[in-house]
Amino acid sequence: MTPSTSKDWNPETYARFRGLRLRPALDLLMQIGTPCAGAVIDLGCGDGAVAAALRSRFPKREIVGIDSSAVMLAKARGYHRLIESDIASWTPDVPPAVIYSNAALHWLPDHAALMPRLARLIPEGGVLAVQMPRQQMAPSHVALREVSARLFPDRFDYSGWTPQVASPEVYARLLSPFGEVSVWQSEYLQRLPAAEGAHPVRLFTESTAMRPITEKLDAAEAARFVAAYEAVLFSDYPAEADGSVFFPFRRSFFVLTRH
């Protein structure tokens, strides 16, 4: 099966592993205390997977979803308002009580500037809560870089590449001047179900980490890339007797309460 080469997100493909993707979102949400008065922003809300949980956690607050993907926003439900905006430059009209971001900010560069900017958008007593995948050095993601550079060296050069998500200590140092900050990381041992004609890890990554690669390839090139990528995955993530695969996945979290 050849992955989509669409430039926008594919809600159906992304939702294939909704349960596994939702667990860290809920783990982050449970660490938010009682913030000051104001709205709750879901920054990079995607198709609205966390909307119901946010409304349950903050039943008397306005819940606002913000994303740059019109396709994803068209699927989102459960928000009081939806705003199509570049999450890298978004600025609220009124300071919100909570800026919550699940698996979105790792797509953005220059976290040394981004995270303090977001911290400054919330008032005293407000909360910035963020979860980001920190999977860049795992075999699944190393293979993405190595296979794409080997097959298409004219389009993929990682010689100056650095991980998008830094160590927990970096975010603690960045945010501690703004208030009380809790930073942690967790590795989730995900058991991906067997899939006919595809490696389960490839199906997991094709809607996220694989997108920046396949969007630069035509259909034939994408099929060639997938075949080579899956050959590596079958070695790094061997199948269990039932065809399922264990897929350890590391995620980084922080919760800042402004002083």
Q: How confident is the model at residue 224 (pLDDT cuts 50, 70, 90)?
A: very high
pLDDT band at 14 (very low <50, low <70, confident <90, very high): very low
Closest by CA position to 94, among listed 119, 123, 74, 114 = 123
The domains found in the chain, sorted by start residue, are 11-258 (3.40.50.150)
Predicted confidence (pLDDT) at residue 179 exceeds the cutoff of 60: yes
Residue 31 DSSP SS3: coil
Which residue is it, tokens 């595809």? Answer: 198
CA distances (Å), origin 43, targets 50, 57, 88, 102, 152: 11, 16, 10, 8, 34
Strands (E), the chain: 40-43, 63-67, 81-84, 98-102, 127-133, 179-192, 245-258
pLDDT of residue 207: 86
Interatomic CA distance for residues 113 and 183, integer angstroms: 18
Residue 21 confidence class, pLDDT cut points 50, 70, 90: confident
The tens digit of pLDDT for each residue in 46-55 reads 999 999 999 9
Distance, CA of 143 to CA of 149 (rounded, Å)? 10
pTM (global) more than 0.85: yes
pLDDT, tens digit (0-9, with 9 covering 90-100), for 142-160: 999 999 999 999 999 999 9
Give CA–CA dist 178/258, Å, rounded. Answer: 6
Which residue carries 């004609």 as its tokens?
A: 197
Residues 75-92 pLDDT 10s: 999 999 999 999 999 999
pLDDT in tens, 90-145: 999 999 999 999 999 999 999 999 999 999 999 999 999 999 999 999 999 999 99
Q: What residues have CB less than 8 Å from 219, skipping those under 6 apart? A: 2, 5
